[in-house]
Amino acid sequence: MIRIIYAVPENHETVHKIVQTKVNKDVFFDLVEKVDIPALLASDFENNIIIARGISYTTLSKKLKYARAIELAMTGYDIMRGIEECKETYKAKKIAVMLSESIVVEKEFIEKMLNVELAVVVVRDHAHVSEVVNTAKGMEIDAILGGLTVYRQATQEGINCVKINVGYESHKIAIYEAFSVANAIIEERKKGELFRIILENTNDCILAVDSIGVITAYNEAVFKILNVPSKTVLIGNNIFSVFPELNEVHLMSIEDKEVNILKSINNKMMVINTKPIKVNQKILGTVLLIQNVDRLQKNEIEIRQKLSKKGLLAKYDFEDIIGNSDQIKKTITIAQKYATANANVLIIGETGTGKELFAQSIHKRSRRKNQPFVAINCAALPEQLLESELFGYVEGAFTGATKGGKIGLFEMAHRGTLFLDEIAELPLGLQAKLLRVLQEQEIRKLGDDKIIPIDVRIIAASNVDLQQKVENNKFRQDLLYRLDILRLNIPPLRSRKGDIREITKFFLAEFEDNDHLRVDMTDEAIIELVKHDWPGNIRELRNICERLLVLSINGQITGLEVKEIFQILPEYVRISESTGENVKKKKMTQKETAEMLGISRTTLWRKSKQN
């Protein structure tokens, strides 16, 4: 709030009318009934504007340090009106005009115009008033013309005196000026507050220096980033004396160069950028923006972590892998050991065995568990599009590129895990680029010349024999060496048929929750499921369970219904030469089947005959 103090104890009615046209909620207008100079000097605050006239203005303008003093100026017309009043009231021919030094009196002009003789007496301050009034007693004058203080003193001394009245226009000019100054202060404070908010809410260190290196502005981050004691005086000190490491940077910047360098300050690596302060093409100083490299890297990690909110999180853990067979238990144990390492993993398994489930579980148990898990199917996109997805691109890199460019999956997965599914389908051109990334731990976006360091663990997966691909010149041997450090073989469902009952129970429960259905599966139905060879593995079993649930009658799935389902399965679901796999069918013995179902071999024989 800005306070305007009207320190002229007269003409208040006129002042009220003028102020009503200048209403401002941020400005308080205060009328003073009695001028008290000591009290006004005590109101020497930046948010105060004092309107005064004559001697009061002269005194305040000299002694105020922070408050603004605005003069209610007397015009030549005001003085001439006062002289006319002296002539009419006292028939005065000789008049002493006693005014402050700030008021100019056109003596010769007024004498000629009004046919009077004037003696102009300058009043320095309030203490001087008594002296000049007493001096007037010895002068051959008919009256005194002066301001309020002179008028009061002369009247007490019994001397003829007329008080100068300031006209309406002078009041209006002074009040309008006061409001204009108040608005300027308010706007300046808004800008200053905006500048302060920007300055102090920037995590980077900001230093402003003039052309000779004297510090003129800074933010609080300077003390923390540059490791300077908080009580250190910066303003007015030369940057070289406080930060000698910045001597070279400042000298470069005043040569009208924008500096962008890495430099060690107090044993910490900093990125320093400078911007020259120019006015009329003349360099008046420099602004230095200093960033801690460690902090930049931390911010980068935090940003990439926020990207995980877009779905870049591993959802599954080892507890989500269903089964108690020796084969799956052994596989889980190996995968858990791999999770504690940091080397790349190659997962081999037929389609539908749950390779991504294992990849996510490994990530979730690794030291990278709090970082992104990013997955992509290498067979799902054409080569150019796949390359842009993996490495990202800058604006204008190719026709149709998104404005502003795009961050690649490697960058998204920084400090985390990148899962490359169906790695065998990766084009040879991209295989070479992937190999370089694995060797150098850095990428370059499409259309860019900048190198971006990355820290990514690769988990690749394939449903075909990669060594056979190498022999057929469709996969690089050196890339396979980089990927195949920790190998994990996922057993197909036909080799762990003992888990079928448990897996089926899980899927049925999942679908029951979704569809509000409740079904039971008979032992005969489980036997029929076990007989199947499951070329589509777990994924196929899940689909069969969902279909059986829909077709179930009276909340029960029987062996007959399972048989009917398998009889109408399309050919592509069955194992055939088109899968590209040489699969040896292993038939479970009656003993193994009975043990899996928890029944005797006799009961199993009877149930089989019934179907």
* DSSP per-residue string spanning 121-148: EEE-SHHHHHHHHHHHHTS--SEEEE-H
Residue with tokens 């926020």: 306
Q: How many other CB atoms are found less than 10 A from the CB of residue 585?
A: 7
Indicate the range of 233-242, 301-310, 351-360, 565-574 predicted with least confidence.
Answer: 301-310
Task: Output the CA angle 484-330-588, nearest 5 degrees.
Answer: 115
pLDDT surpasses 60 at 596: no
The stretch 58-67 carries a mean pLDDT of 88
Q: CA 115 to CA 95: how far, in whole Å?
A: 11
Contacts 24+ apart (CB under 8 A), 401-408: 401/447, 405/445, 407/307, 408/443, 408/445
Chain-centre distance for alpha carbon 66 = 38
Give the model's pLDDT for residue 576: 39
Token pair in block for residue 405: 């460019």
Lowest mean pLDDT among 93-102, 225-234, 288-297, 317-326: 288-297
Cα–Cα distance measured from residue 274 to residue 257, given in angstroms and rounded to the nearest whole number: 8
Using an 8 Å Cβ cutoff, are 439 and 393 in contact?
A: no
Query: What pLDDT shows up at residue 366?
Result: 95
Provide the token pair at 109.
Answer: 């002009």
> Is 37 within 8 Å of 63 (Cβ atoms)?
no
Q: Which amino acid is at 591?
A: K
One-letter amino acid at 508 equals L
| β partners of residue 48 | 3
DSSP sequence for 373-435: EEEEETTSS-HHHHHHHHHEE-TTSSTTPPTT-EE-HHHHTTTSEEEEETGGGS-HHHHHHHH
- Give the three-class secondary structure for 593: helix
pLDDT band at 573 (very low <50, low <70, confident <90, very high): very low
What is this structure's pTM? 0.53
Instruction: Please give the pLDDT value at position 575.
Output: 43
DSSP code for 524: H
Quick one: tokens of 112?
């000629």
For residue range 437-468, list pLDDT tens digits in order. 999 999 998 888 888 899 999 999 999 999 99
Residue 237: strand, helix, or coil: coil
d(CA 53, CA 170): 11
For the record, the structure tokens of 468 come out as 């056979």
pLDDT at 490 over 80: yes
CA 522 from chain centre, in angstroms, equals: 59
Rounded Cα distance between 486 and 339, Å, is 10
Contacts of 383-388 with CB under 8 Å at 24 or more apart are 383/427, 383/429, 383/430, 386/426, 386/427, 386/430, 387/430, 387/433, 387/446, 388/446
In this prediction, residues 382-386 reach a mean pLDDT of 86
Instruction: Give the pLDDT confidence of 277-325 residue by residue, as tens digits.
Output: 888 878 788 888 888 877 776 666 666 556 545 557 888 999 999 999 9
Decide if pLDDT at 249 tops 60. Answer: yes
Which domains are assigned to the chain?
2-73+170-185 (3.40.50), 76-165 (3.40.50.10660), 202-292 (3.30.450.20), 311-489 (3.40.50.300), 493-610 (1.10.8.60)
Residue type at 549 in one-letter notation: L
Pairing of strands 520-521, 373-377: unpaired
3-state secondary structure of 49: strand
E strand residue ranges, 435-478: 442-443, 452-453, 457-462
**Nearest-CA neighbor of 290 among 255, 265, 253, 258?**
265
